[in-house]
Structure 1
């Protein structure tokens, strides 16, 4: 593939499945890989990329069935999502990076830290948890979107993702995020619901040896700060900060989120 700053490329990860990947920033800078939440696209990282691209090489991608990436045709697993990241890094000839994932992206990061430690200098695990019980919630949501599409999910999801104050202050950005949700493929979303229903990396957390920064949202109803504390208590080199935000803290608390990632990468 052609290596161009700011380019968007497609990376094959399985026969017939390719992911849309965007690379921003100078090639010689430290590399940061970004992984999105279920229901969002790589556009959820716009605020972070604007703040960090002068000092970092940033790779962000759309997870399977999200954004401009292909929709999975077989059942998804957390391992498959993790190996997608490794395939992207291999394609871009990135030996080591710092990984930053939010929600489902953070769960993917925990799998990577435990199963591919040689590839990561550190992990930022934002608004996430080692598991997402109860399984029936996610299986029911997958059935619902397959039956009725994404539209009924938009308002309840935005209510979980942002505080009321942010929704009132930044309606245009909230509307953009809502459009991301609406544009997500039904099967892509449902397949990732299946991952959240089944995955539990709790037994593997002790295998993560690299530095870890956990970011929690004080007003996050989906993964409240106590879920972040569970991760920190299980990983030897982990710390945690809590931001004044709900679930999509990279958007709602953009400056503080970027400062935390910049500080973390700088220490590494």
Structure 2
């Protein structure tokens, strides 16, 4: 396992595709309540073309969980600190849900470090502060296990759960073992984040993806995100909240097609 000390905490990360030493970097950012293993279905294809960096956001997975609340600034500082520690000058960035919100912030505030953006199942404003505050309180008082069943019903369709019980079980296992304080700190960061006024600053070519049946981030919210970013492409998949798992092959093909497309003149 690989760790690096950044901003006073230890962040867990993993690199694939290191045999392609001159390949572009692709950074993957997780959803709230998931760890870097949520990208397992994409790694073989992505690492054949890119040097792929996955990391656990502060408070999640194997990264350290300092007391919350956290902020968007914390997320950006952690990501850029990881870039610097690994000598990554620029990278493509792909994030889902909370990871996508991190991508919005990086694209708007640190566009000199971002080549192309993939923002999946996310928006510039994710729900209301009251909802996230209540979820943070529940995580602190009752632990993430108390949130698992309701969350995974939003993440995956019942058909997927029946078809892929082992995948579902692995995702649930990662969720229930998340640190309650770390989960809560990230809830508070999401609740405070409103990046709608910053979308016009994003200049990187951007792909926004959503699921037609996503109950966590309604497709209209993701569509509004795409409309706020000049030239952004918008794609809907037949999925709920984690299309990279529920529609893994289609998600992977779509992202690779976008990242490999010629740059517009």
TM-score (norm 2): 0.96
Backbone CA RMSD of aligned residues: 1.0
Kindly indicate whether the alpha-carbon contact (under 8 Å) linking 1:210 and 1:237 is maintained by their aligned counterparts in 2. no
Deviation at 1:75, TM superposition (A): 2.6
Per-residue CA distance 1:12-60 (angstroms, 9 max, x = gap): 1112x01001010022212100000100000101111122211111000
Residue 259 in structure 1 maps to residue 260 in structure 2: no
Deviation at 1:74, TM superposition (A): 4.5
Kindly indicate whether the alpha-carbon contact (under 8 Å) linking 2:56 and 2:62 is maintained by their aligned counterparts in 1. yes
SS of the residue aligned with 1:100?
strand
2:2 is matched with 9
Residue 104 in structure 1 maps to residue 98 in structure 2: yes
1:12-27 correspondence to structure 2 within 5 Å: 12-15=5-8, 17-25=9-17, 26-27=20-21
CA distance in 2, matches of 1:75, 1:163: 31
Structure 1 runs not aligned, ≥5 long: 1-7
> Of residues 150, 159, 183 in structure 1, which corresponds to 2:177?
183
> Of residues 34, 39, 47 in structure 2, which corresponds to 1:40?
34
TM-score (norm 1): 0.95
1:2-151 correspondence to structure 2 within 5 Å: 8-15=1-8, 17-25=9-17, 26-151=20-145
Per-residue CA distance 1:209-261 (angstroms, 9 max, x = gap): 11000010111101121111111111112011111111011111100111111
CA distance in 2, matches of 1:79, 1:253: 32
CA distance in 2, matches of 1:75, 1:68: 18
Per-residue CA distance 1:170-221 (angstroms, 9 max, x = gap): 0100010001111110001000010111100000000001100001011110
SS of the residue aligned with 1:227?
helix
Structure 2 runs not aligned, ≥5 long: none
SS of the residue aligned with 2:200?
helix
